[in-house]
A = this chain, B = another copy of it.
């Protein structure tokens, strides 16, 4: 029997990968920059390399090796790391260019089903990012793609999958953990959300990392809802 979502008041979404397609968007933004500076790397590979530093950089925060900083700061550091590996000539790259390229993470297209799915889910649930992104980035991403969030919070000052990220998000919207559903394309995220007491919705995004993706191709546990898209998740949750 499927778990009852009638007591759920809020759905928190993983954003990068679950709601928006970061890989295509970051590659699109990187291409003219790479060409301008003669850095010879496929923009999609560059996006993958940049993204690959995301978890390790957050891990330092999670492990208490450095204080919490906005994701924007980590993205910028990671950008410089990747550029260094490609022997970029930093003497010829302006700070303004790096700031602008870092904003690629705020100009990402929603997956084709995202807007319809969110719009339908919004009829029954309050919706917001439950993301590692900072408020400004989430706001700009929402305006870029038309994401119909009810609320964007960044009260957590912690990164997923630390339990406080989920618990503080629930508290911010005035709900108990079991009144919140976590929607994500990543099994680890859902595992931590479930451990914190949240309901879980898995949305399969088998091309988040491109055609050769090896991770999160399938649900690794019996998540409360398992769907192929946000519209299918809306169907499963009775949001027509």
Interface size on A, residues (CB 8 A): 18
Q: How far is the CA of A152 from the CA of B149 in the complex (A)?
A: 10
Q: How far is the CA of A154 from the CA of B140 in the complex (A)?
A: 18
Is A151 within 8 A of B150, CB to CB? no
Chain A stretch 133-166: residues in CB contact (< 8 A) with chain B: 135-136, 138-140, 142-143, 149-155
- What is the 8 Å Cβ interface bit string for chain A, positions 156-197, against chain B (1 contact, 0 not)? 000000000000000011100000000000000000000000
Is B151 within 8 A of A152, CB to CB? yes
How many identical chains are in the complex? 2
Please pick, from B126, B136, B149, B153, the residue contacting A154 in the complex, using a CB distance under 8 A. B153
Is B173 within 8 A of A151, CB to CB? no
Closest to A153 in B: B135
Q: Which of the listed residues A126, A154, A155, A174 has the most CB atoms from chain B within 10 Å of its own CB?
A: A174
Q: Which of the listed residues A139, A142, A151 has the most CB atoms from chain B within 10 Å of its own CB?
A: A151
Measured between beta carbons, the chain B residues less than 8 angstroms from A135 are 151, 153, 155, 172-174
Measured between beta carbons, the chain B residues less than 8 angstroms from A140 are 174
Q: How far is the CA of A154 from the CA of B172 in the complex (A)?
A: 9
Shortest Cβ distance from A105 into chain B, in angstroms?
13
Q: How far is the CA of A134 from the CA of B152 in the complex (A)?
A: 13
Please pick, from B149, B152, B173, the residue contacting A153 in the complex, using a CB distance under 8 A. B152
Is A150 within 8 A of B154, CB to CB? no
Shortest Cβ distance from A103 into chain B, in angstroms?
10
Known: A139-B126, A173-B136. A153 touches B150 (CB 8 A): no
Contact surface of A with B, Cβ cutoff 8 Å: 126, 135-136, 138-140, 142-143, 149-155, 172-174
A135-B151, A139-B151, A154-B172 provided; 13 other pairs, C-beta below 8 A? A126-B139, A126-B143, A135-B155, A135-B173, A135-B174, A136-B173, A136-B174, A138-B151, A139-B150, A142-B151, A143-B150, A150-B152, A153-B153
